Amino acid sequence: MAFAPSLSPSCGLFSCYASATKSNEIEQRFPLHTRSSFKSSFSGEFLQRSLISKTGCGLGGGSRDSLHFHVRASASVLADKSTEKVHVPKGDMWSVHKFGGTCVGSADRIQNVAEIVVNDDSERKLVVVSAMSKVTDMMYNLVQKAQSKDDSYVAALDEVLEKYKATAQQLLDGDDLDGFLNKLHDDIYKLKALLYAIYIAGHATESFSDNIVGHGELWSAQMLSCVVRKLGQDCSWMDTREVIIVNPTNSNQVDPDFLESENRLEKWFSKHSAKTIIATGFIASTPDNIPTTLKRDGSDFSAAIMGALFRARQVTIWTDVDGVYSADPRKVSEAVILSTLSYQEAWEMSYFGANVLHPRTIIPVMRYNIPIIIRNIFNLRAPGTMIGGTSSKENRDVQKLDSVVKGFATIDNVALVNVEGTGMAGVPGTASAIFGAVKNVGANVIMISQASSEHSVCFAVPEREVNAVAEALESRFEQALGAGRLSKVEVIPNCSILAAVGQKMASTPGVSASLFNALAKANINIRAIAQGCSEYNITVVLKREDCVRALRAVHSRFYLSKTTIAMGIVGPGLIGATLLDQLRDQAAILKEDFNIDMRVMGITGSRTMVLSELGIDLSRWRELQKEKGEVADMEKFVQHVHGNQSIPNTVVVDCTADSNVASHYYGWLRKGIHVITPNKKANSGPLDQYLKLRALQRQSYTHYFYEATVGAGLPIISTLRGLLETGDKILRIEGIFSGTLSYIFNSFIGERAFSEVVSEAKQAGFTEPDPRDDLSGTDVARKVIILARESGLKLELSDIPVQSLVPEPLKASPSAEEFMEQLPQFDQDMAKQRSDAETAGEVLRYVGVVDALNNKGNVELRRYKKDHPFAQLSGSDNIIAFTTTRYKDNPLIVLGPGAGAQVTAGGIFSDILRLASYLGAPS
């Protein structure tokens, strides 16, 4: 059963409301002058004295005149009392604090707030408090239940009562506790009466609803004031409905009347001139003394209004975060706390959903240049974020060197509407008609973009409103669409908005270029762009699925907090394992000195793989592979490495020589995954596939690096590209490309047998497990074809004649061991070739040649004079000579180690660092 208070039959006001089913019926039953009095009566004074008292209704007789007189008298109580005029002191002696619901969510937290207030050494303090955590929602729910004829509102209100009662019993004692509980029970009794009236009528006016939901703040302020007094500091509590006067607008907001509010503050302060004031947040009154609320973020708004009224030194907003972040830390783990924000930056970021202050909260304090400080009540050591005008503190903002963009914010669940047609160009009023139709359906336009050709207008609206917008536009422009003056009204769903905000962006060249470059390198397409002439904001519309990745990419670009790269290592064999160890040894230095954060998210071999959400501990990767290894699955592996939404950049490093792995490169690059490899199979495979791969690389911002495919760690590919990009022309490339064969022929001297040298090279780890893979010359041929294609020659691997060093009878040997056993039988032939060369004063060298002039290449064993550079090699060194139009007489020579796991892994590592520099790391 709903609560039914005992009411006097003579209470005309209550009986009329209880019997009405719609609010307009109230207006029909009261004449005009009584209706205005009815509105005025719902002030805090009315609730305390007029509606219900312990002895009856409190309104006297039921006549209209007596009702009118009583309400007028109640509304003028303050004016009738004669008190000595005390002017409100204003200025820097005041500090304003605002504590939200989380800050006063329990007895312990209220005690903590009281201690913060007492410890503030400001001369005067005003503290604005919210209702206890979740209470305002509970109060709104009460109203909803009562309107819906759900009598469980009674039990729900009792739950609120018990919450405050239990809290007060933990905090207060003696007269303070008795006084608070008496007031609390009295308020609850009156609220049940109001809710019963709503229950009977099935409807609540806005003033009734606002009056009910604001009680949480009243109780919090009264409780906190008692605790502060208990700690030895005198204070008064303020019902801000007596002070803050606002005018409702048509946009579900209110505008403060500062002149009238200052007058009311003077009256209030003449009776309560304490140096510490505990004030209610969220609630206020209209000029007719009707209770209302400050709507969204009302408590913050209250604090800003009070700060402006007192001309305070600062307003501190206490919350549960350390300050304002450069981006949502739930989406960008590298987001940093901003030490300062300008008023304009805070406006822009809050509009786009950042957890900052609502723009209207900033307006009151901005008038007097009063800073707002966001601080964490649970971490008093954190200095927080100061929002205000620019100051010297801005120079101490040490986020990063390039801080023209202060922060990034996003809005999800957005749709684009595109109105397009040649008939729009040069026709005045088209935009007005479009947005007039949008206004008529009550939709909120978040962003607008129009090309100077006037051919189309596109704008973003919340996705839930887009269907109504599209229907309204199609109806409004039905004739124009039919006649062809407009070609379409198009809806693009599933979008998100990304905004970059910063006051220093104004007049700073290159900001847009950097932003769009970062998005392009992250392989993200932009659907619409908008920038105001103030240049404080650049807004782009993206696919919703790309939003988080885009946010991380641009944040990394501007903050350079860490160029974070998610890495997947394919092939943890000799080269892959060496690379992982090199990454382990350098990771800390790269992170600290160069802001490069390389996280190996997965390692896979042909049979097993190990995956990690945060990055594999490279000091234990071998153990983890054994302990947590799972069956290798390339698709799952790549999806895991690339699908990690906390890292914007992904690279797969293929350390194998597997053609099957190489066949995945094209698909990976299309997905925005960078590829780095020493694997020659992709670049020396079928020409059409190679050309397709390179075309994709050039068209996108996804990188494909393969320096280690030729010359291990030597800069062969980059040298060749440098020559071509600067306008040089390749005539010939000739070199010793195999470290293995270089070692063999450097060691094949004197009376040593060829088979002995090959065996020595195998034992030293210079050859493949089967030395025939090296002696066949196929590996050198692949390097030749790679360099030929890089030089612009369109050759297939089959176009390269190769002289094999594997004796013909041994090519079919079933195993490497049997091959090595039989190889000494053929030493005589190689010994004769060596002897002939020595007789002519020459040496044997196994070389590859790219003849660019004749569009051909070859691989063969050649003889060189002993004073030739190729004859001067030692060990496993490689040497490559570039003959070009610039270096025609004296070829450009690159010389150095060309074999070994350390050297090859170093070449791969160099490519990884080059990728990092392309992605934004300092060079």
Is residue 177 predicted with pLDDT exceeding 70?
Answer: yes
Nearest CA to 45 out of 76, 68, 24, 20 is that of: 76
Classify residue 839 by burial, with Cβ atoms within 10 Å: 0-12, 13-18, 19+.
exposed
Query: CATH second-level architecture of 564-675+686-693?
Result: 3-Layer(aba) Sandwich (3.40)
The Cα 376–Cα 100 span in angstroms is 11
Q: Average pLDDT in the 244-264 region? A: 90
Quick one: pLDDT at residue 800?
A: 95
Residue scoring higher pLDDT (481 or 402): 481
Q: Note the Cα 730 to chain centre separation in Å.
A: 47
Confidence of residue 400 (pLDDT cuts 50, 70, 90): very low
Is residue 773 predicted with pLDDT exceeding 60?
Answer: yes
DSSP 367: T
Is residue 40 predicted with pLDDT exceeding 50?
Answer: no
pLDDT digits (tens, 9 = 90+) for 607-664: 999 999 889 999 999 999 999 999 999 999 999 999 876 677 899 999 999 999 999 9
Residue type, 350: S
Give φ, ψ of 138 to 5 degrees. -65, -40
Confirm if 135 and 187 have CB atoms less than 8 A apart. Answer: no
The interaxial angle of helices 754-763 and 739-747, nearest 10 deg, is 130
- Pick from 208-222, 321-335, 345-359, 583-597 the range whose average pLDDT is largest: 208-222
pLDDT digits (tens, 9 = 90+) for 664-701: 999 999 988 999 999 999 999 999 999 999 999 888 77
Task: Of 102-111, 117-126, 336-345, 450-459, give the lowest mean pLDDT range.
Answer: 450-459
Query: CATH second-level architecture of 94-319?
Result: 3-Layer(aba) Sandwich (3.40)
Query: What are the structural domain ranges in the chain?
Result: 94-319, 405-559, 564-675+686-693, 716-899
Residue type, 422: T
Task: Of 2-11, 119-128, 257-266, give the lowest mean pLDDT range.
Answer: 2-11
Is residue 82 predicted with pLDDT exceeding 70?
Answer: no
SS3 assignment, position 590: helix
Is residue 63 predicted with pLDDT exceeding 80?
Answer: no
Q: How many Å from the N-terminal Cα to the C-terminal Cα in the chain?
A: 75
Residue type, 660: N
Q: Token digits for 82?
A: 């004669």
- Cα 262-264-270 angle, rounded to 5 deg: 100
Residue type, 291: P
Residue type, 766: F
Give φ, ψ of 32 to 5 degrees. -55, -50
Share above pLDDT 70 across residues of the chain, in percent, rounded to a whole number: 86
The Cα 356–Cα 297 span in angstroms is 11
DSSP 288: T
- Pick from 7-16, 357-366, 437-446 the range whose average pLDDT is largest: 437-446
Confirm if 212 and 139 have CB atoms less than 8 A apart. Answer: yes
Residue range 716-899, CATH number: 3.30.360.10
* Helix, strand, coil % in the chain, rounded to nearest 5: 45, 20, 35
HEC letters along 352-402? CCCCCCCHHHHHHHHCCCCCEEEEECCCCCCCCEEEECCCHHHHHCCCCCC
Classify residue 834 by burial, with Cβ atoms within 10 Å: 0-12, 13-18, 19+.
buried
Classify residue 28 by burial, with Cβ atoms within 10 Å: 0-12, 13-18, 19+.
exposed
Q: Average pLDDT in the 175-201 region? A: 95
Share above pLDDT 90 across residues of the chain, in percent, rounded to a whole number: 64
SS3 assignment, position 416: strand
Quick one: pLDDT at residue 19?
A: 35
Q: How far is CA 518 from CA 42, 319, 434, 549, 640, in A?
A: 57, 33, 34, 11, 23
pLDDT digits (tens, 9 = 90+) for 804-844: 999 999 999 999 999 999 999 999 999 999 999 999 999 99
Confirm if 578 and 422 have CB atoms less than 8 A apart. Answer: no
Annotation says 190 is catalytic: no
729, 783, 865, 888: the active-site residue: 783
Q: Average pLDDT in the 484-488 region? A: 85
Quick one: pLDDT at residue 535?
A: 73
Nearest CA to 245 out of 305, 285, 283 is that of: 285
SS3 assignment, position 550: helix
Paired with 99 in beta bridges are 129, 318
Within a 10 A sphere around the Cβ of 794, how many other Cβ atoms? 12
Within a 10 A sphere around the Cβ of 91, how many other Cβ atoms? 12
Quick one: pLDDT at residue 240?
A: 97
Give φ, ψ of 182 to 5 degrees. -60, -45
SS3 assignment, position 904: helix
The Cα 492–Cα 896 span in angstroms is 56
For 405-559, CATH number out of 1.10.10.10, 1.10.240.10, 3.30.2130.10, 2.30.30.100 equals 3.30.2130.10
Task: Of 160-174, 201-215, 789-803, give the lowest mean pLDDT range.
Answer: 201-215
Mean pLDDT of the residues in the chain: 85
Q: Token digits for 437?
A: 């139709």
Strands 407-420 and 456-462: antiparallel
Quick one: pLDDT at residue 769?
A: 86
